Amino acid sequence: MKKDTEKVTWGETWRLSLRAAKLLENYTPGLFLAAGMDAVVSAVTPYAAVFFSARIIDELAGARRAEVLWRWVVIAVAVTGTLALLQHLTTGWRTARDYTHFYRYQGIYKDKLLSMDFADLEKQETADRLAQIQQNENWTGLGIIGVPEGYVQLVKGLSGVIGAAALCAGLFLTPTPAVTGPLALLDGPVGLLALGLAIVVPTVLSPWFQGKSDEADSTEAMSAAATLGNRIYGAFGFLTYGAESVARALDIRMYDQQTLARHYVSENRVFSADGPLARIKAGKGGLMMAAAAGLSALTTGGVYLYVCLKAWARAFGVGMATQYIGAVTALTVSVGEMLRWLMYLRNLTRYLRRTFEFLDIPNAMYQGSLTTEKRSDRQYDVEFRDVSFRYPGAPDWALRHVSVKFKVGKRLAVVGENGSGKTTFIKLLCRLYDPQEGQILLNGIDIRKYDYRDYMDIFSVVFQDFQLISQPLGANVAGSADYDRAKVTKALADAGFGERLASLPEGLDTQLYRDFDGEGVQISGGEAQKIAIARALYKDAPFIILDEPTAALDPIAEAEIYGKFDEIAGDKTAIYISHRLSSCKFCDEIAVFHEGRIVQKGTHDELVVDEGGKYHELWTAQAQYYDK
Ligand code: ADP
């Protein structure tokens, strides 16, 4: 990772900003073309007015020919009218792209998060990096989101420079009539040099100061100072309103959480007048801004003086004088803008480094390419061979020397106390993580060699913390808006949701939850679990895994689901994880986990009689609560 202090070069500026531009263009095709055209039109439009008013003033102050005046007016109206129309069209075109872009560009991060290795996704460091990138973008537009504006303004500046240069070329080329005294110097090298310096020096220095000011304001130090402040504000500033607060209303009221939150917010001095941000703004950054503004005022003064003196010496008429003043002023503004936005792109580079370092986090999961060959016999044979696994950054092994072979079409139960490694075992099976030691094999081949998506297709898992979304019931089960209604209805019935489904007037089209629809149905935890199970059944994968799916169900409902599950799992290989041993009695094999190891394996009848074993201990402990 590059340090923030590492110098940015122009090479890096172009490389990263062009890469960002290409990426954004992929998500919103036409974004740059539309914005670029709009910029060109808006840059040249003002020059039409400058040019035509100069022609008309010259004619009025000179020969005053009615037909010439008339012609200029007609041409001026036609040209400015056409430009206004064109501007309207390009702005409309650009705005439409901008809206789309605004919604789509976040997809860059979403796609990265979705394709990232789970181990990286789960790291706090990943969340912190993304939070920092997004904060910079949302707060100051610094990051990938700033690139279109940088390029557009650059194009606008460049078009402005070309237009202005064309209009003010005459100022340098028109000779001053023979005059004596100091005015004779105007056309000589001294006069031109003085004008050149008056234009160039402030034009270059002003944006340089501006750039330095931006740089001073937007250092990572400032955004780092703001990160904590923003987080505290985000967490506590909105505690008592917004959707979150409804869910938390009881806790907030009962435990007076708003007073506690107010304390945190008022202790948060990041944004206050004596805070670190104010100090940065008032320091070097502020001084640079003032210097930039002062210098551009000087330029304007210098140009007025030169043009007035040359007009005074009768080098050109009053109309041309207005054109030159307008054009030279526009030239300095445009050159200034161009340089300012060049500096802006250069300043963005530090932020783009962060963005691309994040987007370039390597991905190990997706390296495999073997297909799992869709076998009609569903004979998928999975084996854990001496697998050990430690969570990234964790000191202890979560799984140690685990070896187990699944018998195709059989029921395997994974039991054990909390923290014994049951969920971790399933996560490895689903390749959310790769083990540090040992191998997991599918039909004899290391699962890392398979195409990840293809491999995932052979599993249906109901995780403990499954999520349903505020969408119609049927779409939740099918994971898609278009689905096979009969198949979804059957899956729901198999999962024990049949009666409830019959009671819903809108059936599969019933909206779940009330986030978007006041008529939505608030389902209970147990009902949600049944829907989650139906979703797993609908996927119809050869492996079906239930990770403590019945935690929110009462023991009767649990017995009903487990009892039925054996039947509906059919020829699938089913794996159950449960701490309620009574639910697993029917399984062909039970693996007992303890402190990350499989300490016993066998059927319920075999294990329960082994009085010195863990299973017997757990069974006896639970027997007092449940009628076996
Ligand atoms: P179980 O499902 O049997 O309750 P887990 O597989 O969830 O157990 O956990 C096994 C061990 O791994 C526990 O010590 C737990 O604290 C640890 N663990 C689980 N998830 C993580 C994680 N994401 N990061 C670090 N340690 C974890």
Q: How far is the CA of 385 from the centre of ligand 1 (A)?
A: 20
Q: Which atom of ligand 1 is nearest to the CA of 396?
A: 14
Question: 270-294, pLDDT tens digit by residue?
Answer: 666 667 667 666 666 667 667 766 7
Rounded distance between C-alpha atoms, residue 448 and residue 434, angstroms: 8
Task: Name the more confident of 622 and 202.
Answer: 622
Q: Which atom of ligand 1 is nearest to the CA of 394?
A: 25
What is the average pLDDT across 364-387?
79
What is the average pLDDT across 500-523?
84
Q: Phi and psi at residue 376, in whole multiples of 5°?
A: -75, -25
Q: How far is the CA of 397 from the centre of ligand 1 (A)?
A: 9
Q: Which atom of ligand 1 is nearest to the CA of 547?
A: 2
In terms of Cα–Cα distance, which of 417, 461, 455 is closest to 579? 417
Q: How far is the CA of 615 from the centre of ligand 1 (A)?
A: 20
Residue with the smallest CA separation from ligand 1 atom 24 is 391
Question: 305-359, pLDDT tens digit by residue?
Answer: 888 888 888 888 889 999 998 898 888 888 888 888 998 999 999 999 999 999 9
Q: How far is the CA of 495 from the centre of ligand 1 (A)?
A: 28
pLDDT band at 570 (very low <50, low <70, confident <90, very high): confident
Q: How far is the CA of 420 from the centre of ligand 1 (A)?
A: 8
Residue with the smallest CA separation from ligand 1 atom 25 is 391
> What pLDDT is recorded for position 523?
85
Q: Is the model's pLDDT at 89 over the cut of 50?
A: yes
* Helices 318-359 and 189-217: angle between axes, nearest 10 degrees: 30
Q: How far is the CA of 594 from the centre of ligand 1 (A)?
A: 12
Q: How far is the CA of 398 from the centre of ligand 1 (A)?
A: 6
> What pLDDT is recorded for position 425?
94
Q: Which tokens in the block code for residue 395?
A: 């000191």
Q: Is the CB of 419 under 6 A from ligand 1?
A: yes
- Average pLDDT of the chain, as a whole number: 84
Question: 376-424, pLDDT tens digit by residue?
Answer: 666 788 899 999 999 988 899 999 999 999 878 888 999 998 899 998 9
Q: What is the DSSP letter of 285?
A: I
Q: Is the model's pLDDT at 62 over the cut of 80?
A: yes
Q: How far is the CA of 516 from the centre of ligand 1 (A)?
A: 35
Supply angle C-alpha 368, 365, 436, rounded to 5.
105
Q: Is the CB of 422 under 6 A from ligand 1?
A: yes
Work out the number of other CB atoms within 10 angstroms of the CB of residue 422: 25
Helix (H) or strand (E) holding 383: strand 382-389
Report the percent of the chain where pLDDT is more than 70: 81
Q: Is the CB of 398 under 6 A from ligand 1?
A: yes
Residue with the smallest CA separation from ligand 1 atom 1 is 419
Task: Name the more confident of 216 and 187.
Answer: 187
What is the average pLDDT across 540-548?
86
Surface-to-core class of residue 519, CB atoms within 10 Å of its CB (0-12 exposed, 13-18 middle, 19+ buried): exposed
Q: Is the CB of 578 under 6 A from ligand 1?
A: no
Partnered with residue 590 across adjacent β-strands are 413, 602
Domain ranges, ordered by start, for the chain:
10-174+316-359, 411-420+458-627
> What pLDDT is recorded for position 628?
44
Q: Which atom of ligand 1 is nearest to the CA of 548?
A: 2
**For a substitution probing ligand 1, which of 417, 424, 547, 594 has the most ligand atoms within 8 Å of its CB?**
424
Q: How far is the CA of 407 from the centre of ligand 1 (A)?
A: 26
CATH superfamily of 411-420+458-627: P-loop containing nucleotide triphosphate hydrolases (3.40.50.300)
CB of 344 within 8 A of CB of 336? no
Q: Which tokens in the block code for residue 556?
A: 């009767």
Q: Which atom of ligand 1 is nearest to the CA of 122?
A: 23
Rounded distance between C-alpha atoms, residue 382 and residue 366, angstroms: 20
Which stretch, 280-284, 526-530, 614-618, has highest mean pLDDT? 614-618
Q: How far is the CA of 538 from the centre of ligand 1 (A)?
A: 29
> What pLDDT is recorded for position 123?
84
Q: Is the CB of 400 under 6 A from ligand 1?
A: no
Q: Which amino acid is at 173?
A: L
> What pLDDT is recorded for position 227?
65
Q: How far is the CA of 210 from the centre of ligand 1 (A)?
A: 52
Q: How far is the CA of 122 from the centre of ligand 1 (A)?
A: 13
Q: Is the CB of 146 under 6 A from ligand 1?
A: no
What is the 3-state secondary structure of 137-194? HHHHCCCHHHHHHHHHHHHHHHHHHHHHHHHHHHHHHCCCCCCCHHHHHHCCHHHHHH
> What pLDDT is recorded for position 370?
80
Question: 463-502, pLDDT tens digit by residue?
Answer: 877 888 888 999 999 988 888 999 999 999 988 889 999 9
Q: Is the CB of 472 under 6 A from ligand 1?
A: no
Question: 572-592, pLDDT tens digit by residue?
Answer: 888 988 877 877 788 889 999
Q: Which atom of ligand 1 is nearest to the CA of 417?
A: 3
Rounded distance between C-alpha atoms, residue 425 and residue 460, angstroms: 15
Q: Is the CB of 376 under 6 A from ligand 1?
A: no
Q: Is the CB of 394 under 6 A from ligand 1?
A: yes
Q: Is the model's pLDDT at 207 over the cut of 90?
A: no
Q: Is the model's pLDDT at 460 over the cut of 50?
A: yes
Q: Which atom of ligand 1 is nearest to the CA of 393?
A: 25
Work out the number of other CB atoms within 10 angstroms of the CB of residue 32: 20
Q: How far is the CA of 206 from the centre of ligand 1 (A)?
A: 58
Q: Is the CB of 420 under 6 A from ligand 1?
A: yes
Q: Which atom of ligand 1 is nearest to the CA of 596?
A: 10
Residue with the smallest CA separation from ligand 1 atom 5 is 421
Residue with the smallest CA separation from ligand 1 atom 16 is 419
Q: Could you report how far apart the first and last alpha carbons of the chain are, in Å?
A: 58
Surface-to-core class of residue 124, CB atoms within 10 Å of its CB (0-12 exposed, 13-18 middle, 19+ buried): exposed
pLDDT band at 249 (very low <50, low <70, confident <90, very high): low
